[in-house]
Chain A
Amino acid sequence: MQAEVTPAPKPKADQSAAISRQRAKGYNLHAGDKYYAFAFLGPSLLVLGTFVFYPMLRTLYLSLFLTDNVGRPTVFVGLKNYIGLLTSSAYQASLQATAIYVIAVVALTLILGLLLAQLAAKKLAGIQWFRTIFSATMGVSVSVAAIFWLFIFSPSIGLFDQIGSFLHLPIVAWLTQPGPAMTAVVISTVWMNLGFTFLILFGALQMVPQSLYEVSAIEGASESYQFFHVTIPMISPTLFFTSTVTLIGAFKSFGLIDLMTAGGPNNATNLLVYRVYQDAFLSGNYGLASAESVILAVIIALFTLLQFKFLEKRVTY
């Protein structure tokens, strides 16, 4: 390939124009540079190709087939796996459950995380201790959290029901009724998420210059006005980051669901990702599971795109 020769640097006045022109054209490569490029990119391309791109394409391919008892694609069915899924009431229930779960988890995690961060940002005696406690769930593994929450929600010997029966409140069958089961799973997930969200938001709050509050206080702004018009805009990049991460995390929730409800009762907590696991690794139905993965990937991509399109406009960097 013909090497392009970079023109000699222009005088200073013209430099920014030169840079932008260079950006527009892309960086100029020397003839040998592309060997360097491949030498450096090679290993990661190899890894990405093997572990990301190939599996992605393979999943897409498998989703168009019925698979036999050892997982080989045998009968081409076109889009029938997708059509079958989208028209089945069980899958629609999963879609609905996932929507409820994701919205509840993201909203509660952000609101509670921000609340805790606001509280911990106050300069009070012993606040250090609370800061540690609030971020403590980061160090708790999913299995430990599941055992802990199962004990709380357990029927007949659970903490909630013990308290309930002591206070003569009606007993709630937390994990064996659809509504309460979803509530239980959401509570547990939010609790798990809080530590990380708290820490990130708390960090962001510390970065807001104190002078802004002082100035707005002089202008007579109330605390709630300060919160909405100083704090929120100032930490908006961090809020955006946490909301995106929590959203994607919520779509991928697996451990707590598996350990607490296994998708039940009556598929009320059978989220999309759990369904993929069931169909692929328990039933060995790889064609169907691949179709489910593709749908899930499209949904996550769509939501993330929407988030970037609408939320990012309100972010002030």
Chain B
Amino acid sequence: MKKQTVSHKVFAIVAGVLVVLAVVLGWTAFSHPSASAQSNGRIKVVFWHEMTGPAQQQLIKFSNEFNRSQKKYEVVPEFEGSYNEAVQKVINTHGTDASPAVFQSMDISTSQMHHTGYTTPVQKFIDADNYDVNKISAGARAFYANQGTQLSMPFNTSQPVLFYNATLLKKLGVTPPPVNPSYSDITRVATQVMQKSNKKVQGMSVEIYGWLFEEFMANSGTSFANNDDGHTSTPTASNLTGTSTVNTMKWLQTNVKDGVFANYGASGNALNNEIASFLSGRLAMFLQSSATTTQLTTGNKNKLGITYYPHPDGQKSNGVAIGGASLWISNDKSATVQRGSWDFIKFLMTAKSQAEWQAATGYLALNKDSQKQPALLNMYKKLPEAKVPGEQLAAAQPNNTNSGIFMQGLIQARNLTQTAMEQIYARSNIQKALQTAQTSLNGNIKNNNRANGY
């Protein structure tokens, strides 16, 4: 009996050792070898981005060009899925070997990214290099700056604009909207399109999209949140029930009710359906990001028209905020790697790179010298309207209501404003829908500030 017990113990110990061994071996096999920081004598700079299609191809091209242009660093671009998911990935990997050295993060994550304390503001490198930041678009910079410090470098930047099918309008005998249209200009065009086409063509579509909601407010000079949209200090409450916001929603609701505006709903499918309808000549106008320009011109025989984002009647347009994403430098990497990240950012911001970027993707060239580059001149020759989004960006004087909302939790906020828009499109009481969104949002802001100790 005793002998048997001993052999049991031996067996158990052997089994235990095997288990531990298997775990350890598995661990080492799957974890990155620590030598990966250096490859062929170059310092590796991992670059996380969320671009697909032509933009991704162009980024890979830029990385290769940068790697050929110098011998010290090697930029490795890695695609990380959607904007929303990337934010969480950056946060969750920070401080580990898996984290990126430089990463792209969407517009509305700016405040959150800054407040994590996981990044080095690019201002540090701008100052160190005496980098002439004035050649980069002021409107784009303002979105990613706080109290005079540039937090990240604006990169893929778009403007919300109005697209119209110029050929179709001409055929129907409808005068196109002016270059800086008011709400009633849009109503006029949309109504005429409906009437003259015997309701065969939908006049206009405004996607149920929190970004467009924010842009309506920006263009009317209304703050979304208090403390100047967070630009002076952390917001403590939101302001969704102002007169101009109510009036904008009234304009949308009336036109949707009258069938002058079509309702394509929310989410990515709405955009795809809008584009499909627009390209097949069933939709005359719609509001979207200027980044869709390439999609709307490729294979489209009809002439594309582009105007500024519409503004409320009886007032000048305040200018809209940009959309898109910016480039951030992680502070969990060595000073050398951070320097490599900054060099790569500088490379991306040259007049030549920015011109090529716009020509390839439809995102705007942010370097003021890009306008003279052959890549852009060629593009304008083919499509003069492509200048409009850039002109809109240049025309706006950055102020506290058109430079984005410097607040955390904007993804949730967009869910709330989108729900309000959905209710309004479905003929709910406007005041009540906005009030509901505002109450929920204020609750979120309060909790968020509490959790973060503001």
**Residues of chain A having any CB pair with chain B under 8 Å:** 3, 31-33, 35-36, 38-40, 42-43, 46, 66-71, 74-75, 84, 88-90, 150, 154-157, 173, 175-178, 260-262, 264-267, 278-279, 281-285, 287
Contacts and interface: CB of A to CB of B under 8 A. Distances in A.
B12 A157 contact: no
Nearest to A81: B447
B447 A74 contact: no
Interface in B251-265: 262-265
B419 A285 contact: no
Contacts of A156: 202, 262, 273, 276-277, 280, 282-283
B61 to A, nearest CB: 28
Contacts of A39: 11-12, 15-16
> 7 nearest interchain CB pairs?
A32-B8, A176-B265, A66-B451, A35-B12, A262-B267, A39-B15, A266-B422
Given A39-B15, A176-B265, A154 B276 contact: yes
A38 B13 CA distance: 10
B269 A283 contact: no
A285 to B, nearest CB: 7
Nearest to B87: A284
A32 B263 contact: no
Contact of A154 (B88, B116, B273, B411): B273
B152 to A, nearest CB: 16
A35 B11 contact: yes
A281 B84 contact: yes
B270 to A, nearest CB: 8
Nearest to B415: A278
A29 B422 CA distance: 65
B268 interface: yes
Nearest to B416: A90
A88 B436 CA distance: 11
Contacts of B94: 70
A67 B91 CA distance: 13
Contact of A35 (B8, B19, B115, B422): B8
Given A156-B277, A156-B282, A71 B202 contact: no
Given A32-B5, A74-B453, A287-B451, 12 more contacts: A35-B12, A38-B12, A66-B447, A66-B450, A69-B451, A154-B269, A156-B202, A156-B273, A157-B280, A176-B263, A262-B266, A282-B85
A282 B303 CA distance: 38
Contacts of B88: 281-282, 284
Interface of B: 1, 4-5, 7-9, 11-12, 15-16, 19, 23, 84-85, 87-88, 91-92, 94, 112, 115-116, 118, 202, 208, 262-270, 273, 276-277, 280, 282-283, 408-409, 411-412, 415, 418-419, 422-423, 426, 436, 440, 443, 447-448, 450-453
Interface centre among B11, B19, B422 (most CB of A within 10 A): B422
A264 B5 CA distance: 64
Nearest to A275: B415
A154 B5 CA distance: 71
B419 A90 contact: yes
Contact of A264 (B112, B265, B276, B447): B265
B422 A265 contact: yes
B419 A266 contact: yes
B380 to A, nearest CB: 32
A278 B409 CA distance: 12
28 contacts: A31-B1, A32-B7, A35-B11, A36-B12, A39-B15, A39-B16, A42-B19, A69-B115, A70-B91, A71-B92, A74-B451, A75-B450, A88-B440, A89-B436, A154-B273, A154-B276, A156-B262, A157-B280, A173-B263, A262-B267, A262-B268, A265-B208, A265-B422, A265-B426, A266-B426, A283-B409, A283-B415, A285-B409
Contacts of B118: 70
B190 to A, nearest CB: 16
A69 B85 contact: no
Contacts of A74: 451-453
A38 B15 CA distance: 10
B266 A265 contact: yes
A287 to B, nearest CB: 8
Contacts of B265: 173, 175-176, 264-265
Given A35-B11, A36-B11, A43-B19, A157 B422 contact: no
Contact of B418 (A75, A90, A155, A264): A264
A67 B12 CA distance: 43
B423 A260 contact: no
A74 B409 CA distance: 16
Contacts of B1: 3, 31
Contacts of A42: 15-16, 19
A74 B277 CA distance: 48
A75 B452 CA distance: 9
A297 to B, nearest CB: 22
A68 B266 contact: no
Contacts of B91: 69-71, 284
Contact of B452 (A3, A68, A177, A267): A68
Given A32-B5, A39-B16, A281-B85, A75 B451 contact: yes
A69 B269 contact: no
A157 B267 contact: no
A187 B4 CA distance: 63
A88 B443 CA distance: 11
A217 B283 CA distance: 63
Nearest to B263: A176
